[in-house]
Structure 1
Amino acid sequence: MCTEIRYLAVVLYVFAQVGLLSGICLIVGTMIGSGIFISPKAVLLYSGAVGPCLLVWTACGVLATLGALCYTELGTMITKSGGEYSYLMEAFGPIVAYLYSWTTVMVLKPSSFAIITLSFAEYAATPFYPGCTPPFFVTKCLAAAAIFSIVTINCLSVKLANYVQNIFTAAKLFIIVIIVGAGIVLLAQGKTDNLSNAFDGPSTSFGAIGLAFYNGLWAYDGWNQLNFITEELKDPFRNLPLAIIIGIPLVSVCYVLVNIAYFTVMTSTELLLSPAVAVTFGDRVLYPVSWIIPLFVVFSTLGTANGSCFTAGRLAYVSGREGHMVKILSFISLKRYTPSPALMFNGFLAIFYSIPADINTLINYFSFAQWAFYGLAALALIVMRFTRKELHRPVKVPIVIPGLMVVISCYLVLAPIIDKPELEYLYCAIFIFSGLLLYYPFVHLKVKWARRIMRPITIYLQLLMEVVPPEKTE
C-alpha cells in the first residue's frame, strides 16, 4: 500500500513548533540587532540634523507597523511558510514568485546575513584594538566563524535555534534597557543641549531622505520574519497578529529612546565621527564597566544573525519545494528534522559576500531590492481583494494601508535613483531580471538534459547529508 506523506516538514517539525513567546522573540530578536548600532550615523548624515533624524526613526517604525499589518492579513489568509514568496505566487503567479525567490535566496538573505555578521565582527574586535580600526583579516575571519557557528546550530535542531534566539533576545533587550535607562537619567540631569535647536542643520534632498529611510528601515528589517514560518507557528490566526502588534511597537519605542540617549552625550559631529556609536556612548557613560556595551552588542548581532539564518533556510526550502530552486534545497535532514541543505547554502553565500563587503553600500542596495518586493507584496494584498474573494481572512486591514505601502515603496525605490543615479542600482535590477534566463528553460520548460545532470548530483548530496525530500511515496 502506498501512502503519500505530503509536507513532511510539518510532521518533522511537530516537536518544534513556534509559540507566541518564541514568535515575539523572533520578531524582536531579528529586528533589534546590528541596525540600531550601525544605522544612527547614516540616518543622521542623510537627514541633516537631530530633529529630522528622530522623525525618520519614528516614521520608520510607523512604516514597519503598516507593513506588518498588511502581512498579518496575508499571513493569516495564506498560511504557508515562505513569506512574500507564497503571497506573490497566489497573486501574480510563478514568474513573479520565482524572481522573488531568486533574488532573496541568491542575494538578499545571504547579503543580510553577511552584513550582520560583519557588524558582529567589528564590535567583537574593537575592544582589542583601542584607538584604531580592527585589521581587515581579523573582522573577516570573525564574521566567517560566526556564520559557520550559527548555521551549525540551525542545522542541528530547530528547538536549539529557538532557545538560542530567546537567550540572545533577552541579552539584547538588557543592553537596550541599559542604554535607554542611562539616557533617561542623563535627560533628568539636564543633558539636553544636543537636543535643543534640533532642526537647525543643512537642508536635505529628495533622494537623501530616501537613503535615510533605507538605513533606518535596515534597523527595522525583520518585521516580516514571522510570516516565513507560518506553517510552524502554533495557532497562527491568533499568534501571528499578536506577535506583530506586541513586537514592532516595542522595537519602535526602543529605537527612538536609544537615539535620544546617544544625543545626550554626543553632538551630531561627534556621533558622525564615532567608529562605533554604542561603544562611544558606553565609554562616556558607563566607565569603568563600559565593556558591557560591546559584549552585549555582540550578543545582539548574533541573535539577529540567528533569526536571519532561521528564516532564510525556510524560504530556500519552500522555493525548492515548488521547483523554483534546485530540489536539494527543499530536502530535510532525516535525523535532525531541519532544512540543512538550504541553511548550508545560505551560509556559504554569506561567507562569499562578506569577503568584499562594504556595509553601508550593501545596505543601500539591499534596501533598494527589498522594498521593491515589499511594495509588490502590498500590491498583492490589494489584487487578491478582487481576484481571491473566496479566501478566508481572519484579519482584514483597511485597503488604504496596503495602498499607502505601495506608494511609499515606490518612493523608496525611485527617490535615490532619481536624486543620484548610480550604475549599481542598474546592476541590481539586471540581476533580478536575469533570473528569467534560468526560469524559462529550467523551471518552465523543465528541459530533460538539465534533469539528467542534476539527478546524480542530487542523489550524491542526499546520501552525503542524509536528507529526504518533503514529499515521498512509500
Structure 2
Amino acid sequence: MKRQLKLWDAVMIVMGSMIGSGIFIVSSDMMRQLGSGYWLIMVWGLTTLATIAAAICYGELSSMYPRAGGQYAYLTEIFGRMTGFLYGWSLFAVIQTGTIAAVAVAFGKFTAYIFPVLSDAPPIYENGSFMITWMQIVAIGVIIFLTFINTRGLESGKFVQSIFTAAKIIALVALVFGGLYLMKVSFFAENVQFGWSAFQNLTGDGWVPIDGRTLMAGVAAAMVGAIFSSVAWENVTFISGEIRHPERNVVRAMVIGTSLVMLLYLLCNYIYLATLSREEMAFAANDRVAVAAAEKLLGHTGTIIMAFLVMVSTFGCVNGLVLAGARVFQTMAKDGLFLRQAIPNNQHDVPARSLWLQGLWASLLCLSGQYGNLLDMVSFVIVIFYMITVFGVVYQRWKHPKKDRSYRTFLYPIPVIVYLLVGGLFCGLLIIYKQQYTWPGLILVLIGIPIYYLINNKKPNTDNS
C-alpha cells in the first residue's frame, strides 16, 4: 500500500463516513420515544461523550498497530484470530454493507422527494411483500458508481470524499446559522420543560405521563438512533496502511473528526428543538425532521434545499464507507479469513476485487429491503465490538506494558471508563427492555463461529486462538 492520504484526507474520511442520513431523520423517532427535548439532548450528549472517548482510546491501538484493517487488526492482534474474524464477518455480512445499503437507499428516497416521478412510478417487480422500486435502483446505481470510482485509484476516492464532505459540512453549518437567523419563534424552552420530574411518552392516546422504567426503555430505543448516526468514524483505521504517519495522524483524524461531527449534531438538534414544536418533531413526515425544520424556516424552497443537502450528505457517506470497508476484507483475505480473490490490488494500487465483492453484497441488501431491520438488530453488536476494542487498551497495558506506543490514551483510564460505562448502559438497557434489538445481532455473530472453523480446517493453523 502506498501512503497517499494526509491528515486532512483522514479527517474527511472520518466526518464523511459519520454524516449520512441519520442526523436528518432519527431525532423524530427519538422525540416520540422520549417525549422531551431535555431527554433528547441528554441522549445526544451521552452519545457525544462516548464517541469521543472511544476515538481517544482507539488512538493508542492505532499507534501500536498502524496497518490496514484497523479495528479488525486490533482485535486479531489482541484477542486472536477468531475474535478478529467474528468482527470482520459481522462487518461484511451487515455492519458495513448494510450501512452502505441503508445510506444509499436514503439517497434514493430523497432523490424521489425532489423528483416525485421516482416514488409515484409503480414497482419494477412485485411478488407478495417483495418488490423492487426505482428508489432501490437509484441506490444500487450510486453503490456501483462509487465502487467504480474507487477502483480507479485512491486519488479518485479521496477527491470525491473531500469535495462532498466539505460540501455537507458547509451545508450543516449553514443550516445551524441560517436557522438562528431566520427563526421567528423558539420552541426550545417549551420542548425541554419535561425533565426529571415529568416523564411523557407518545402513545395512541397522545402524550401521557410515564414512570422511570418506561423512560429507560425509551432511552434505550432512542440511543439506537443516536448511535447509528454516530458510528463509522473507525472507518479511518481500516485504511491505516495508506495514511502518512498513521501512528499520529489516525488518532488526530479520529479525535478531530468525531468532535466536530458531534458538535454539529448537537447544534442541529438545537435548531430542530427551537424551530419545531414537540408534535411537529414527533410527526414529521417520514421522520424527515430536517425537512420539516427547513420548511418552517424557508417554506417549500427550504424542503428542496434540505432534500438536496441530504443527497449530498448520503452520497459522500456511501463513498467513505465504500472506500474504507474494502481494505478490511482485503486484510482478512491476506490472513486466510476471507476469499483469497480479494487479496490483489489492481493497476491503480487499490483492492478492486474486494471493492466489487463489497458492492455486490451491499446491492443485494438494497434489493432485499431488510437492511434497515438488520442495522437496528446489530447496533447492539456494533457497541459490543467497540467495548471489546476499548477494553483492549487496558488489556495491552497489562500484557505488553513496554510495547512501543507513540500515542497514549489521553487522561487514561478516564476515556476507557466513560465508554465502558455508557456502552454498558446502552447494552444493558437493550437486553432488559428491547430484546428484539439484541438476540438477532448476537445470532448473526454466532453464525460466524462454524464458518471460522470451516475456514481454518481447510489449511494449517499455527495460531492457537
- 1:5 corresponds to: none
In 2, the alpha carbon distance for the partners of 1:87 and 1:133 equals: 47
**Could you tell me which amino acid in structure 2 is paired with residue 330 of structure 1?**
I
Pick from 426, 433, 442 the counterpart of residue 412 of structure 1: 426
Pick from 92, 101, 111 the counterpart of residue 124 of structure 1: 111
Does residue 366 of the first structure (1) align with residue 371 of the second (2)? Answer: no
Under a length normalisation based on structure 2, what TM-score does the superposition of the two structures give? 0.87
Tell which deviates more after alignment, 64-73 or 48-57: 48-57
Q: Mind listing any 5+ residue stretches in structure 2 that lack a counterpart? A: 124-132, 201-209
In 1, the alpha carbon distance for the partners of 2:190 and 2:374 equals: 30
- 1:151 corresponds to: 147
- 1:36 corresponds to: 23
Contact kept, 8 Å, 1:125 with 1:134, in 2: the verdict is no
Contact kept, 8 Å, 1:119 with 1:301, in 2: the verdict is yes
Closer/same/farther in 2, CA of residues 42 and 246 from structure 1, 3 Å limit: same
**Could you tell me which amino acid in structure 1 is paired with residue 87 of structure 2?**
Y
Contact kept, 8 Å, 1:180 with 1:257, in 2: the verdict is yes
Closer/same/farther in 2, CA of residues 401 and 381 from structure 1, 3 Å limit: same
In 1, the alpha carbon distance for the partners of 2:427 and 2:41 equals: 22
Under a length normalisation based on structure 1, what TM-score does the superposition of the two structures give? 0.85
Pick from 399, 417, 420 the counterpart of residue 387 of structure 1: 399
Does residue 23 of the first structure (1) align with residue 10 of the second (2)? Answer: yes
Cα deviation, residue 356, structure 1: 3.3
Tell which deviates more after alignment, 295-304 or 232-241: 232-241
In 1, the alpha carbon distance for the partners of 2:443 and 2:52 equals: 31
In 1, the alpha carbon distance for the partners of 2:29 and 2:62 equals: 32
Tell which deviates more after alignment, 196-205 or 311-320: 196-205
- 2:339 corresponds to: 326
Contact kept, 8 Å, 1:28 with 1:169, in 2: the verdict is yes
Closer/same/farther in 2, CA of residues 262 and 340 from structure 1, 3 Å limit: same
Q: Tell me, what secondary structure is at the counterpart of 1:205? A: helix
Cα deviation, residue 391, structure 1: 1.6
Cα deviation, residue 186, structure 1: 4.3
**Could you tell me which amino acid in structure 2 is paired with residue 412 of structure 1?**
F
Pick from 79, 87, 90 the counterpart of residue 92 of structure 1: 79
Cα deviation, residue 305, structure 1: 0.6
Closer/same/farther in 2, CA of residues 269 and 111 from structure 1, 3 Å limit: same
Does residue 246 of the first structure (1) align with residue 256 of the second (2)? Answer: yes
Q: Tell me, what secondary structure is at the counterpart of 1:161? A: helix
**Could you tell me which amino acid in structure 2 is paired with residue 161 of structure 1?**
G
Closer/same/farther in 2, CA of residues 119 and 226 from structure 1, 3 Å limit: same
Cα deviation, residue 345, structure 1: 1.0
- 2:359 corresponds to: 347
Q: How does 1:231-380 map to 2 (within 5 A)?
A: 231-274=241-284, 275=286, 276-287=288-299, 289-290=301-302, 291-333=304-346, 335-357=347-369, 361-380=373-392
| 1:344-375 deviation line (CA, Å, top 9, x unaligned) | 11111111112233565333213112111111
Q: How does 1:88-237 map to 2 (within 5 A)?
A: 88-129=75-116, 137-186=133-182, 192=188, 194-195=190-191, 197-199=193-195, 201-202=199-200, 203=210, 204-237=214-247
In 2, the alpha carbon distance for the partners of 1:232 and 1:252 equals: 26
Closer/same/farther in 2, CA of residues 361 and 268 from structure 1, 3 Å limit: farther
Q: Mind listing any 5+ residue stretches in structure 1 that lack a counterpart? A: 1-9, 449-474
In 2, the alpha carbon distance for the partners of 1:414 and 1:317 equals: 34
Cα deviation, residue 189, structure 1: 6.2
In 1, the alpha carbon distance for the partners of 2:297 and 2:84 equals: 49
In 2, the alpha carbon distance for the partners of 1:348 and 1:380 equals: 33
- 1:61 corresponds to: 48
Tell which deviates more after alignment, 117-126 or 289-298: 289-298
Cα deviation, residue 272, structure 1: 2.0
Tell which deviates more after alignment, 427-436 or 298-307: 427-436
Contact kept, 8 Å, 2:344 with 2:351, in 1: the verdict is yes
Q: Tell me, what secondary structure is at the counterpart of 2:357? A: helix
Cα deviation, residue 192, structure 1: 4.3
In 1, the alpha carbon distance for the partners of 2:269 and 2:447 equals: 40
In 2, the alpha carbon distance for the partners of 1:373 and 1:245 equals: 19
- 2:447 corresponds to: 434
Cα deviation, residue 134, structure 1: 8.1
In 2, the alpha carbon distance for the partners of 1:446 and 1:365 equals: 33
In 1, the alpha carbon distance for the partners of 2:255 and 2:95 equals: 26
Aligned residues: 432
Tell which deviates more after alignment, 121-130 or 194-203: 194-203
In 2, the alpha carbon distance for the partners of 1:371 and 1:244 equals: 17
Closer/same/farther in 2, CA of residues 84 and 403 from structure 1, 3 Å limit: same
**Could you tell me which amino acid in structure 2 is paired with residue 406 of structure 1?**
L
Q: Tell me, what secondary structure is at the counterpart of 2:338? A: coil
In 2, the alpha carbon distance for the partners of 1:221 and 1:206 equals: 22
In 1, the alpha carbon distance for the partners of 2:14 and 2:122 equals: 33
